[in-house]
Amino acid sequence: MERERAKNGEELPVSEQSVGILHGVGQKTREALSKLGVETVGDLVRLYPRAYQNRGDTMSLSLIREKLADGETGPFSAILTVAAAPVTRTVRRGMTLTKTRAFDETGSVEITWFNQPYIVSRVHVGETFRFYGRYTWEYGKLNLNSPVTEAWREDVPLADIVPVYPVTAELKQKFMADAVAQALRLTEREWKENLPLDALSELGLPTVGYTLRQIHRPESAAAIGAAKKRLAFEELYLMFLSMAQSGAAAKQPSGALRFTDCGLDEFLAALPFALTGAQARSVGEIAADLSGGKLMNRILTGDVGSGKTAVAEAAAYLAVKNGKKAVVMAPTEILARQHYADFSRLFEKLGIKTALLCGATKKKERNEILEGLRADGGVDIVVGTHALLTEDVTFGRLGLAVIDEQHRFGVRQRAALFEKAKNVHCLVMSATPIPRTLTLAAYGMIDVSRLDELPAGRAKTSTFIVNESYRERLNGFIRKQAGEGRQIYVVCPAVEEREREADAEELSNLSLYEETPETAPMKSALQTADELAHALPELRIGFVHGKLKSAEKDRVMTEFAEGRLDVLVSTTVVEVGVNVPNATLMIVENAERFGLSQLHQLRGRVGRGSYQSYFILVSDTKSPEAQDRLKAIKSTTDGFEIAEYDLELRGPGDFFSEAGAIRQHGQMNFRLAAACRDPVMIERASYYAKRTVEDDPALARPENAETARRLAALGRKEGKIQN
């Protein structure tokens, strides 16, 4: 669209022009900004601060000393006069220290800057500055390292609350502040309202102009709160708007397939178990959809181990029985292979041909599968990953599409599947139990089936919370479980030590103060596997993570599934798609770094057989909120109850942008919606989105033009986000 307008000689609005038009932004800077998702001037306006520094709350040095004695760590702000000329000395190659002393009427402080020799020319004896940073009391004196230093004049006020932006190694805070200021100035006349005016009135939300000014140049903490509330609602509204458009399109009745034979006796006889009441109810709902003359558009949501696969198999069986083919799309190769193993084992008994199509499928086998997917081909059901979306994959007589872990696929990816075959029944599945509030809001235009009971015979998994002092006992318990012939998972938050949380997590945590989380250093899978190999040399230990090549990952997972490994050390790659009934123990390192729903997913990897199983969370966190989250996991195994608690604690972003810092391709980037814990706000965002789509499905009316532009901008970004 932008290229077409430029080609026609139409000048683009400033907000849609490249950030390269800004002063001081060259090619290298553009590349650095691109890493933050900033391509246009408008993107920069929508790059919100990740935190704020309250530099205006100045204190005397004596008060700072009292607060340090009470255990507070700051940062603090003080207005001080320089007492001594700064002196720089080199302590080693690449390291300089610049020192001075400053005072007020209540005391003095020693100030040190690291690798900032230019301070000597900027800070002089007798001058007054506002010093903001972390003060410490050491060796009987007050110290301050590398503070923010601002010249102080009573007639020239300084900003009280200063934004802190996400940056990269190439970008500095001062540059980001200047660039954002330019972007705000250049685009201000283009800001137009993209929310329904009655929504602003009903919920007391500020206008877009006030919001963008206050989020970047806040006058007060209250102004930040109002801006955050508005932006959270806006993100929810746009997300639900996208879902409502997809749902409305999927419910079109014209040309819908009507399945006339929905008998399941043969299928049920082939199952090695009896369906639970919830499974039977869901299968009945699906059969009614398929025979009702309208396209099915249903989500199947259920707790870990509730039996969603069997329900999907029943739907696929009905498609084949009515002369159609079925496709099952999973987000990872591991999960696709797991589904294929389940489907092929069952349908082989019924004479139904299944196939697996992944990126690793060899060319000859791939060609055979593609041939089998034609209308007269012999493949009835194909299970696969994103490989199903490539151009050369075509379907003949496709009647049903099953999309697993649907929140991990973008709108475009789902649309790409349905473009291959019109008028296809759709069943999406989610292993994350979704709170009723979000189910009603997000899926109000989609029918919902809930699996709210577990199959009989499942042993309850015992959950424990321990700290690092239990390490020797944990190793002993691993040895004991392995000695009894059982297997063990050890899950870590990172692959290697140098990994840090991604910007996505920081972006979702707008706070008034810049804080350092009270948490232990992040344990890596590589480090943990090495430590276990030394501590338990008699055990067979494997190591797997998402960065491994598919063949290597599959090899290790297969070895574990077949019992040729005692311990599997991994990242959250085992969160879904791993079914090893012999695994009875999972240990999660740095458990405070995982979301509640993610921890519940991980717990579902054990307790899948008849043996007593254990889920042990290792954490040294001092954060009360993190401790409460871990206690919530220990107190219940009900996934829906956990999901409701997670919604209250962390907001809806967890359910649509799982897991934490990991961004999947095609997901909307929740920056503030993740902080929304208000069910009314979520429900009203859904209500207004659905009403907008009902009134103007294509968003073609003038009053919806800005909303359509914002959705298009999000779609442009969606296409650029990769795993």
DSSP 51-115: EEEETTSB--HHHHHHHHHTT----EEEEEEE-S--EEEEEETTEEEEEEEEEETTEEEEEEEES
Q: How confident is the model at residue 510 (pLDDT cuts 50, 70, 90)?
A: very low
Cis peptide before 32 (omega within 30 of 0): no
* Residue 95's CATH number: 2.40.50.140
Which of 168, 186, 204 is the C-terminal boundary of a domain? 186
Which candidate, 447, 466, 408, places its Cα nearest to that of 665?
A: 408
Same domain, 69 and 44: no
Yes or no: say if 695 and 24 are a contact pair by the CB < 8 Å rule: no
- Range scoring the smallest mean pLDDT among 100-114, 136-150, 175-189, 456-470: 456-470
The verdict on residue 414 lying in a domain is: yes
Domain that holds residue 507: 461-636
Question: Integer distance in angstroms from the first to the last C-alpha of the chain?
Answer: 26
188: β partners: none
Q: What is the pLDDT of residues 651-703, one digit of tens each?
A: 665 555 442 222 222 334 555 665 566 778 878 888 898 899 888 888 889 98
Residue 374 CB burial class (10 angstroms; 0-12, 13-18, ≥19): middle
Average pLDDT over every residue of 562-579: 81
The confidence score (pLDDT) of residue 267 equals 96
Q: Are residues 500 and 627 in the same domain?
A: yes
Angle, in degrees to the nearest 10, between helices 208-216 and 221-250: 130
Burial level of 516, CB count in 10 A (0-12/13-18/19+)? exposed
As a whole number of angstroms, the distance between CA 478 and CA 609 comes to 18
So what's the pLDDT on residue 40? 93
| Number of neighbouring beta carbons within 10 Å of residue 35 | 14
Q: Please, what is the average pLDDT of the chain?
A: 83
Contacts with 326 (C-beta within 8 Å, 6 or more apart), sequence order: 315, 316, 319, 320, 380, 381, 382, 398, 399, 400, 401, 402
* H or E element in which residue 138 lies: strand 135-138
Q: Give the pLDDT of residue 498.
A: 45
Comparing CA positions, the residue from 701, 710, 715 lying closest to residue 194 is 710
**Long-range contacts at 78-81 (CB < 8 A, ≥ 24 apart):** 78/104, 78/109, 78/130, 78/131, 78/135, 79/104, 79/128, 79/129, 79/130, 79/131, 79/152, 80/104, 80/109, 80/128, 80/129, 80/131, 81/126, 81/127, 81/128
In-domain check, residue 674? no
> Which percentage of the chain shows pLDDT scores above 70?
82
Among candidate residues 573, 603, 636, the one where a domain is terminated:
636
Last residue of a domain, one of 618, 636, 654: 636
Query: Could you report the per-residue pLDDT of 140-154, keeping only the tens digit for each?
Result: 899 999 999 999 998
d(CA 264, CA 634): 39
Phi, psi of 567, rounded to the nearest 5 degrees: -130, 135
User: Residue 647's CB: how many other CB atoms inside 10 A?
Assistant: 23
CA distance 89 to 115: 10
Bridge partners, 89 (sequence order): 97
- pLDDT for res 379: 94
* Cis amide linkage into residue 75, ω under 30° from 0: yes
> Does 85 fall in a domain?
yes
62 and 29 in a common domain? no
52-76 residue pLDDT tens: 999 999 999 999 999 999 888 889 9
Cα 66 from chain centroid (whole Å): 40
> Are both 71 and 16 inside the same structural domain?
no
Domain for residue 238, yes or no?
no
CATH number at residue 36: 1.10.150
pLDDT of residue 658: 40
- What pLDDT is recorded for position 501? 39
Instruction: Tell me the average pLDDT across 17-31.
Output: 93
- Sequence-distant (≥ 6) Cβ neighbours of residue 519 within 8 angstroms: 590, 592, 593, 620, 621, 622, 623, 626
Separation CA 571–CA 582 (nearest Å): 20
Look at residue 675 and tell me if it is in a domain: no
Indicate whether 397 belongs to any domain: yes
Residues 493 and 570 in one domain: yes
Q: What are phi and psi of 100, to 5 degrees?
A: -155, 180
More confident residue, 413 or 70: 70
> pTM to 2 decimals?
0.59
CATH code for position 422: 3.40.50.300
Whether residues 415 and 510 share a domain: the answer is no
Residue 457 CB partners (closer than 8 Å, separation 6+): 610
Contacts by residues 477-480 (CB-CB < 8 Å, ≥ 24 positions apart): 477/585, 477/614, 477/616, 478/532, 478/536, 478/539, 478/567, 478/585, 478/587, 479/536, 479/538, 479/539
Pair (382, 413) in one structural domain: yes
Q: Which two tokens stand for residue 225?
A: 């709160």
Q: Is 499 helix (H, G, I), strand (E, B) or coil?
A: coil
DSSP code per residue over 632-644: HHHH---HHHHHH
* pLDDT mean over 478-494: 94
pLDDT value of residue 517:
43
Per-residue pLDDT tens digits for 511-551: 444 444 444 567 888 889 999 999 999 999 998 876 777 77
Give tens-digit pLDDT for 603-620: 988 888 888 999 999 999
297: β partners: 426
Tokens of 219: 């006058």
Pairing of strands 161-164, 354-357: unpaired
Give a yes or no: residue 143 inside a domain. Answer: yes
Give the whole-angstrom CA distance, residue 394 versus residue 417: 10
Whether 541 and 629 share a structural domain: yes
Position 12 pLDDT exceeds 80: yes
The CA-based dihedral angle spanning residues 149, 122, 62, 97, taken in that order and rounded to the nearest 10 degrees: 90
288 or 576, which is more confident?
288
Q: Is the domain of 41 the same as that of 182?
A: yes
Residue 184 CA to residue 190 CA, distance in Å, equals 10
161-164/51-54 β-pairing: antiparallel
Give dist(CA 45, CA 25) in Å, integer: 15
> Among the ranges 361-365, 399-403, 535-539, 573-577, which has the highest mean pLDDT value?
535-539
434 pLDDT tier (thresholds 50, 70, 90): low
The closest alpha carbon to 429, from 352, 341, 335, 361, belongs to 335
The set of residues, in sequence order, having a beta carbon less than 8 Å from that of 252 and lying 6+ positions away, is: 295
pLDDT tops 80 at residue 186: yes
Same domain for 506 and 629, yes or no, is yes
Provide the percentage of residues in the chain whose pLDDT is more than 90: 50
Quick one: pLDDT at residue 400? 92
- Mean pLDDT for 630-653 is 75
Considering only 83-87, 215-219, 683-687, 711-715, which range has the smallest mean pLDDT? 711-715
Q: What are the angstrom distances between the C-alpha of 221 and each of 39, 161, 360, 716?
A: 30, 8, 52, 33
45 and 61 together in one domain: no
Q: Are residues 619 and 473 in the same domain?
A: yes
Q: What is the domain count for the chain?
A: 4
Q: Would you place residue 94 in the very low, low, confident or very high pLDDT band (cuts 50, 70, 90)? A: confident
Return the pLDDT at 583.
93
Domain membership of residue 268 (yes or no) is no
